[in-house]
Structure formats: structure tokens, C-alpha cells
Chains A and B, each alone.
Chain A
Amino acid sequence: MHPQDRFWRIVLPIGTIAVLSTLLAVGYATEPDRFVRGYSPIQPIAFSHRLHAGDNHIPCLYCHTGAERSRHAGVPAGQTCMNCHAVTRTDKPEVQRVAAAFRADQPILWQRIYSLPDHVYFDHRPHVGAAIACQTCHGEVQTMEQVSREMLMRMGKCLSCHRDAHEVVPASSKITQGPTNCFACHR
């Protein structure tokens, strides 16, 4: 085979594939976690949002109390679970584990699903204040047995609503867009 032929027919395609697959592999491996949709880690307690938020209609803010008052929505203290589970469903093994952890003053180490880089200061307050449904970003949590990530935590995702908010705010809302300047979220 002519050397040039070999180049065109073998070296170039294989080389291109090799380079591309390396890039893809490295890209996949180094991609920040937050860019992956469907990330659904196994939690220390098999807590079902479908049961609590869906079937039982417990409002999100009952447990995630910080969303109105703080930047962070927060994960409830063990005590919040015990508000009900001191008396209800005490026969279930998962509930017993929660109760045991509470009695032993041991926190439950929930696996973080939504995370942001350090230079992003997302604030729940204005979003809840604008009556944007939690499901807009977090997905239909009330249908999830095990919570998985619905939103890609990319800046483009933030900006798409901040540029045109009419799809996410209630129809009666006067809000048409969110701030798009740097210091709105970065500081």
C-alpha cells in the first residue's frame, strides 16, 4: 500500500477515533457531577418522596423550612421526622433506623444531589418568593421513590429562565425575568 494511501485509509480514521474517544472519555470522567442528569444516589434511609410529598401531600416547606428564610432550603433535622414517626409507622425498619439515629444523636448523612460550585450563590428565597414551583428545578419529586437530579446545574439553565421567566412563574405574576448580571449570583 502506498504510504499516503495507508495514511488516508488507516492512520487518519483510527487516529481520529482514538483522539475523539480519548477526549470523550476524559470529558466524561472529568465532567462535574452537577452536569449529569438522572444522578440518583442511594440514600442512607430509603425515604420515599412519593409517599410523603405525593400520597400524603406533605408540603415541601414542612421539611425544607429554610427555603423561605435562607439561601439554603436545608435538609430536616432528625427531630422533624420524629414529629410524626414517634408514633406512626414505628414498626417499619427504616423508621426504626431513623428513630435509633435520633436517639443516639447521630445525624443521617444524606447524599447530596444538587450541588453548585463555590462561586455560585444560589438563593432559594427569591425563587420561592416569586412562587416558582419547587418542581421547576427539582423535577416531580412527589412521584420519585428515590430522588434523582432533573436539572443540569449549568449556568445556561439558570439564564434561560432568568431571561424569560413567563414559563415558570404563575400567569398572574408581574415578573417577566430575573437578574442576569454577574453579581446576582456570583460574589
Chain B
Amino acid sequence: MDEPEQIVGLPVLGASDEADGLSRRRFLALLGASAALATGAGCTRNRAAIVPYTKKQDEIVPGVANYYASSFQEGEVAYPVLVKAREGRPIHVEGNAEHPLYQGKTSFHATADLLGLYDPDRLRAPLIDGRPATWKAATQQLARALQDAAKQGKGIALVTPAVLSPTRQALIARLAEALPSVRHIPWEPAADHHDRQAQRELLGEIRRPQFRFDRAQTIVALDADFLGTLGDAVFAIAGFSSMRRPAYFVGPMNRLYVFEGGMSLTGSRADVRIAIRPSALARIAFGLVRAVHLQGGRALPEGLAPSALEPFALHGLPEARPFAAKFATLVKDLCAAGDRSLVLAGPAASVEAHAACLILNRMLGVQGAVTDHAPIAPALSTPDEFKTLLDQMVAGQFAVTVFWDVNPAYDLPQSDDGDSSAWRAAMAKVPWRVRLGLHRDETASTCNLVLPTNHWLESWNDFETSGDALTLQQPVVAPLYETLQGDEVFLRCLAEMGRPVAKTYVDFLKQRWQEEVAPKESPIPFARFWNTCLHDGLFRRRPEPLSACRLDGEACTRAATRTARASSSAGFELVLATDPRVYDGRYANNGWLQELPDPIGRTSWGNPLSLSPADADRLHLKNGDMVSLGHGPALPILRQPGQAEGVLRLTLGHGRWQGSVATGVGTRAWAFAPAPGMRVAPIEAVTPTGDCQDLCLAQHHDTKDGRDIARLWSLAEYARKPQQEIEREKLPSLYDKLEQKGPRWGMAIDLSSCVGCGACVVACQSENNIPVVGPEQVRKGRVMHWMRVDRYYEGDLASPRVINQPMPCQHCENAPCESVCPVQATNHGPDGINQMAYNRCVGTRYCANNCPYKVRRFNFLDFTRATPASIQLAFNPEVTVRPRGVMEKCTFCVQRIRNAEQVAERERRDLKDADVVPACASACPASAIVFGDISNPESRVSKLSRSNRGFHVLEELNTQPAVTYLAALKNPSGEGER
């Protein structure tokens, strides 16, 4: 690891913070100078000009936000979004409520990728051989290179991410028509390649089922982090959480079984969790196939011989034997739930484990009941195909390679910054290496033609998000720099080659929509159809029915036999998990996501190697101790309660060496992958190096230390509670009751729905101009998040129960912070909000000391001034930017409250219940956060606050918080768990 000074994206911070021996003489000199400066500054009065528009913009009223529907693609999923823009400048990204599936929720990566638009590291103009060039020259150069390659019969490789856009697909087809030697290689390094291989073997085609977690009763996850990193987490969280939320009283709940090596977000939500080595997953899965067949009487797929399953008797498997009782209930649950169950495997599970899941789901009849219509998945190259491609490059078969929004120089296992890597060898043999991308990243630095592309907020496109909707992507802002959309570059190339094509990509898109999407024989003119779709961000359509595909019985038997023959290894197994924050590394240059703590490990800025406390004890390791895995760089460790013994877990996406934020943060986990797409690596030994590193921990207490801070009940415990609404008795207070006018704002947070993903933290950061402080400051505990998600372990630390608790300011009625402020900078508003007046604050920090919830944040440094100017464009103009020396905290998004009040007043009506939605509640994919008026007994929030699961944190202090938490519920299987 590099030294932290190099890591920080905020270079000025370290220096100004030091209390270096300031001599008296120097102090006086500075004092005089600053007085003079203050006088000087005062003379240059702030006489700015007002710059009006010349032509009136119909849709823009200065000061009023506009919202535009668009879409955001990540991997094999595209999320519909709503982009908030002020005076034409995107400042916030939320979900699009028009979409039938997502209903206003979106990935927090979409929210955070707003920073990607304003990233100062963006490429600003085309580069040919490292020299700036005009777009005309660059496209001519590209067209010439492509044509020359075609003439010589040499290959042209077009490496892109998964193509979800039918229009982009059509464009690539046009390109391949014009240049027959184009080979399109869709490449997603973090995709679940094992799943695809299993589907290919068993089904003959690859589908992308939409799992309806809102209908599944029994869910089995085999190292499948479906709530975190496995594909469409937003839809999964929404569905899963809807089944975890008994409206008021005990109701049906789903049950989640998780088998995994490390502790993932999904594992932390499990009702029954079994820590197990990933190599055992396939055997367990086939054991379940056998048990469901024998005990549930479910027929095996045709062609799968029962004899092939003989080796997998659950009582005979050494991995399953210690958990016999849990397995018995699991089998019973699966058989009872039948088509309302779901078995999933993740990328760390072997191909065979995925095959067993397919068999199980087929036997239980899940198709149609719990999975919706499964469209054909976007084509992706297999890791083998990608490897062949590199070999062919080394053999000199390619004259041009185009890397379009992919970064193989970073995420290929073979590539590293050493000289002799396979990647460099391949690159040396390709005369034209073309980079189409946003940033000056690892791949761009090996390319000789670098073409900067538009950010998705500057681009046009369409996506197939699900069977029943086609979403549109529209630019919200004109390109900030001299960039072009990648598709546009190819359109220009085609024009250079004399091919008749649309002039711009938006024309191409509209043309295709007019010809193929718009309903034929509709009386509505296309222009109106197009504008409606653009406004809604999507086109609803009836999904085309897909034929059911047969499960190849012989392939099933082969998978079972392979599993039976596989031997288990003795050493450590290293699981390479997708990072919930920076994904496969594409967001590593994003300060918000780097600073967002891992939901379970609670570390930010980096990826420590997690291992089980038992293993750590055996090796005498404490948090932050460095270890070596035999090859690759040394890694700091994190003791992870609940992790299986003999399993190591490391997240991908860190350890980049390009990008001012990303450089040097964490370790490049791709280097440990044995081959592209492989997500488990055998490690012989873990050797401590003797060094130690300070981890960037956002939370230092792992347990509640016996205090009743966050409640977690089993369903049986909950059933014993009085099943009626509760009225909390008010303790007597020495303070006068505060005068209240109008609504009293409050919040209810359902810990049973909350999965702890951190979407609220990112949304809050974006909405409230919260600065990024960098790893050095995080280590000092100076992180500025107004909303944090605490994580507590309960019970035995070898297999703990996990609670996540979002913690905004509690807006206490008897707020301890208010009574200690010497200048009345923080006080109580008539609407129950604990107010913070920044201009009054003198920075005594008494309030933070007296806050029992530790939600107050102090600006130790001038974080905003250290924010790059371009990123300041992402600031919300409705929220003050706080200077150094000022305390700040959650305001319940008061700017949204004030705006809603004005809108209601203009419409001459009272505020409605859902009029005010703070950023965190709006972003929560689980709908766990409900905001509203708690003085109105009919509002959703007051109904929830009266729930018999409701409690206040540290209620005994009589702070009377406005935030009510609803106890988390677990649905364990009775015998095993309690």
C-alpha cells in the first residue's frame, strides 16, 4: 500500500491541519497579515452581475428544479432514473416512478455517478499519439485505420461492456456490415460467468430471469449476494424487503437461507446462515436436489439419473453434517414453499453449483411463479473467448482494437503495471489501439488514439430494462468538454467511409424507434409518441412470450458427476467479491463511493482482506496487520465475524493506478484471480509480514455492549409481544414543553426492511453538499456523513446476527445539543426540527460532545475549498456550503420541506402526507424510511411510530427523538438458530 498522503484526492488537507510549532512572532505576523487581508477583501465588494438568458427558456425558471427521465446502465442492468437539474445543471439523481418495476427506486451508483460527470480527471479532447487533436482529424484517423485493417484482412476488435441497447446493437451490426472483419467482444469482468456457463450447458441459451423476491417464500442463496452485488440489487431489495415487513402485527415473512464463505450484505440479512467454503457449495446444492427429490417427491429433470446424486446424501456430506437440523428444515421449507421458493448461486459458486440451482428451480416449478418472463440475456464473451482474443492479438491478427468504456488494462488478471504482462505483449502487437472512454485510465494510457466520450448524463440511448419496458436515456446537459458519444464516433466513421447513415446518434435512435418500436397503425403521430416516451423515460409494451426451454438431463448428470469427482482443497480459499461500492473498479475515482463504508466491514477507502476471527487468532492477527498470500501485494486484514474458517474474502475494484482519487486506494484484487472470470483462488498459506496499517474504519464498536440500541427479534419473540398499537409513555422532563406550530416532522425507520445497502448515505451526500474528506480524515473520525448506517453484531461472533441501523439526526424534542450551545446556534424549530444555523456557530463542539447519537459533524478543515471546482458544480444550490469551523448535521432535508410548503401554498392546499420526501427516504430501495408529520395521527409515519415494533434509541435518556425505529425481525427455523 502506498502512503495515505498520496491516496487523498484532497491534497491540501494534510498540511493545513498540523499544529506545527507556530512561534509567537509568526503568529503575530500572520495576525497582522490577515487583518490587512480582511480589510483588502472588504474593499473588493461582491458586486456580481446578474446574467439573464437572452432567449427565454420555456422549461427553465431560475431557482426551480427540472426533472428529466433517463437511464443508467451498469453491467447487465439498466436502471430508470430521474435527473434533477437546476438551470440546466444536473445536481441529483433519483429513481423514476413511472417505471412499472422500479417504481421510483434506483441504484445508488446512479446517484453517485453524478460525480463522474464533473470528474476533473475526465478526458477533454481527442488525443492522437498523446497529442491533442481535433475531432475531425481523430475520426478521419479512426476511419482510415478501420478501412486499412479491413483491406488487409486484419481483425478489428471492438471491446464494449454488455450492450443492453437495441439501437447500439443495430449500430454495431451496421459497422460489422461495412467492415466484415469487426469482431464485437462484449466484456463484463464482474459478470457471473459461471452462471452463464451453466445455463449454456443445461439450457442451451442464456436467459436473464427477473426474480420476483416479493413472491418468494423460501430463498436459498449460495454465495449469491443478490441484495448487494448480484445484478439487479434494487429490484431484489424492494421485493425482498416487502416480504420482511409485517404491516403492523405478526404476518407471513419470507425466510432466507444463506450459504457463504465471507460475510456479504445478503448474508447479514439471512434468517439461517451457514458459513461454508465456496468449494462445498456445489455438493450442498446437489444434496438439496437429492433431498427435494426424495423427501419432497419432486421429479428430477428428464435424463438426470438418480444414481448420479447418490454421493450427495446430505447426512453423508462432511460440510452439511454439523448443520443437520438446519438442513432438515431447509428441505422441508423448500418442499412446502414449492414454486414460491428460489435458489440462487453467485459468481463464487462453481458452474456445477449453478447447474444444481437451475435443476432445483426447475424441480420446484419456480419459472413463472417467482421468476418473471426471462428475456434472452445480452451477449457476453466468455473468459475463454477473451483469453483467445488476447492470444490472437499477440499473434498479430488484429490491426485495430477499440476499447469502448471497458478497462481491461486494469481488470485483467494478467495485466499489472509490470513490464512483462500478457496485456502489454498483446498491446505491443496491435498498431492502432483506440480508447473510447471518459477518463484517462489504465487502458487509455496504453492506447495511441484516445477519444473522449460523453458521460451518460450527456448521452442518448435506449435500454431493454425488462420485458415490459424499453427505457430511454436522454442528455440532461450539453457535453461539458470536447467529447462525443461513442456511438456518434462510429456514425461519423461510417459517414467517412461513405456509408449512408443518420447524421447524429439521436437521429439514428429516432429512426429506429419510428421503424421498430412505435406501434404500427397508431393514429398518434411519431413526434408525439416520441415526446411522450421521452417525458416518461420509457415505452411500456407487452412482453413477448418466450418458449420454455428444456433442461438437458445429460448435462445435469455430467455436472453431478463432475461435482462428485471434485476434491476439496486443504488451504485457504480466496473469494473475490464484487465491491458493493466501486463495483468492478469503474467507480473507483468517485469520492462519494470510496468514502461510503462497506455495509458489513464498515471500512471505507480500500479493501482489507477479511478472514474469520478463528483464523486470525490462529495467526495472531489483529485488524490492520499486513499479510502476504504468497504472491501479489501484501494486504491489511479485517477480522470478519461470521466468516467461514479457511475462507479469505477480498473485494474487487480497488488498487487502480490512474485517477486522482482512485490511485493507490486499496489493493488490486484482480491480480489474485487465476484467470479472467474466476472468482475463487486457492491460497496455500497466509503469512503475516509483521507490518500494520491503520484501517479506515467508520465504526469502532462492533457490538452494542449490552445496550438496547437496535432491536432484533425473532418472529417467535415478536409474537409474544402485545399485538396492538402502543402509546409510548412520556417521561417527565425538567425543560418546558416547546411551542409547536403546524406539523411536527418525524421519521420511522423499519429495521426489518432495511438491508443496510447505504443508498441513503449517498443520496444524502448528494442532496446536502456533504464533502468528501479522504482516508486520512476518516481515520481521525472526521467523516462528514449526515446519515450513517451503523452495523452491530449480536450473539456468538463466530455466527453473529447482524443489525443495520440508519442513523440520521434524531431531532430530539429535548435535544441535549441545544441546551449546551453557548450561542444558540442550534435550537428547536416550531415544526420539531432541531435547527442548525451555520452563521451563528462558533465551533465550540459542545453540541457534538453532548449528542448521545453522535450525528453531529464538525468541519475541522475547509473541505469545500478543497473540492475541485468542477465537482462544486454538483452542489445543490438550495443548501448552504459549510465553511471550516462550523458544526453541521441532518436537517431532515429542510430545503425540500420549505419547497413543498411553497408549492402547496401556491396550489392553495394543505401539505399532503407524501409531499415531503427527504433524499434518504426517496433513495431507499427497501422503502424502509418513512417521513412525515407525526402530529397527524393518520399519517403513515405516525401509524408506523405507534407500531408495537417501534422504539427510540436510548429512550431512557428522555431525549424524545422524532425518529422511531421499528425492530428488525428474523424468521429463523426454530431448532437450529435460536
Contact = CB atoms under 8 A, between A and B. Distances in A.
B47 interface: yes
A70 B64 contact: yes
B55 A79 contact: yes
Which 5 A-B pairs rank lowest in CB-CB distance, beginning with the nearest? Answer: A30-B42, A70-B63, A109-B49, A72-B63, A77-B53
A106 to B, nearest CB: 7
Contacts of B64: 66, 69-70
Given A77-B53, A107-B53, A183-B833, A123 B47 contact: no
Interface stretch (B657-665, B846-854, B898-906): B898-906
Interface string A109-130: 1111001011101010110010
A182 to B, nearest CB: 4
B52 A115 contact: no
B271 to A, nearest CB: 42
Interface string A30-58: 11110000000100000000000000000
A109 B891 CA distance: 36
B839 interface: yes
A187 interface: yes
B26 interface: no
Nearest to B41: A30
Contacts of A119: 837-839, 880
B50 interface: yes
A111 B51 contact: no
Given A129-B906, A183-B891, A186-B838, A75 B50 contact: yes
B829 interface: yes
Nearest to B824: A182
A186 B880 contact: yes
Given A26-B42, A66-B62, A70-B64, 19 more contacts: A26-B39, A30-B39, A32-B46, A41-B47, A66-B64, A69-B64, A72-B62, A77-B53, A77-B56, A77-B57, A79-B55, A110-B52, A112-B47, A112-B49, A125-B902, A181-B829, A181-B835, A182-B836, A186-B837
29 contacts: A30-B41, A33-B45, A33-B47, A41-B47, A69-B64, A70-B63, A74-B62, A75-B52, A77-B52, A77-B57, A78-B53, A78-B54, A79-B56, A80-B56, A110-B49, A112-B47, A112-B48, A118-B880, A119-B837, A125-B902, A126-B902, A129-B906, A181-B830, A182-B835, A183-B835, A184-B898, A186-B839, A187-B894, A187-B895
A179 B46 contact: no
A105 B53 CA distance: 9
A80 to B, nearest CB: 7
A87 interface: no
B878 interface: yes
Contacts of A26: 39, 42
Contacts of A101: 54
B42 A182 contact: no
A117 B837 CA distance: 13
A133 B837 CA distance: 29
Contacts of B830: 179, 181
Interface in A55-70: 65-66, 68-70
Contacts of A13: none
A111 B53 CA distance: 15
A110 B61 contact: no
Given A187-B891, A187-B894, A108 B905 contact: no
Interface string B632-663: 00000000000000000000000000000000
A15 interface: no
Nearest to B833: A183
A71 interface: yes
A74 B835 contact: no
A29 B891 CA distance: 36
B45 A32 contact: yes
Contacts of B48: 112, 115
A107 B49 CA distance: 11
B55 A78 contact: yes
A166 B49 CA distance: 34
Nearest to A44: B49
Contacts of A108: 52
B881 interface: yes
A30 B835 CA distance: 29
Contacts of B47: 33, 41, 111-112
Given A77-B55, A187-B879, A123 B898 contact: yes
A121 B49 CA distance: 19
B38 interface: yes
A128 B104 CA distance: 34
A171 B895 CA distance: 31
A37 to B, nearest CB: 15
A183 B836 CA distance: 8
Interface of A is mostly: loop
Contacts of A78: 52-55
A152 to B, nearest CB: 15
Given A183-B833, A187-B891, A71 B42 contact: no
Nearest to B905: A129
B61 A187 contact: no
Interface string B894-930: 1100100010011000000000000000000000000
A29 B42 contact: yes
B570 interface: no
Interface string B44-78: 01111111111111000111100000000000000
Contacts of B63: 66, 70-72, 74
B623 to A, nearest CB: 39
A118 B55 CA distance: 28
A55 B827 CA distance: 49
A41 B48 CA distance: 11
Contacts of B51: 107, 109
Given A74-B62, A179-B830, A110 B839 contact: no
A176 B294 CA distance: 79
B878 A121 contact: yes
A101 B52 CA distance: 12
B324 to A, nearest CB: 59
B43 interface: yes
A66 to B, nearest CB: 6
A170 interface: no
A54 to B, nearest CB: 22
A33 B46 contact: yes
A157 B827 CA distance: 22
Contacts of A179: 830
A107 B835 contact: no
A111 B63 CA distance: 19
Contacts of B906: 68-69, 125, 129
A69 B61 contact: yes
Contacts of B839: 117, 119, 186
Q: Looking at B47, B54, B833, B880, which has the most chain A CB atoms within 10 Å of its CB?
A: B54
Interface in A168-183: 179, 181-183
A182 B47 CA distance: 27
Nearest to B838: A119
Nearest to B35: A26
Contacts of A29: 39, 42-43
Given A72-B63, A179-B830, A182-B827, A126 B880 contact: no
B39 A187 contact: no
Question: Which of B46, B53, B64, B827 is the most central at the interface, judged by chain A CB atoms within 10 Å of its CB?
Answer: B53
A118 B49 contact: no
Nearest to B902: A125
A187 B877 CA distance: 11
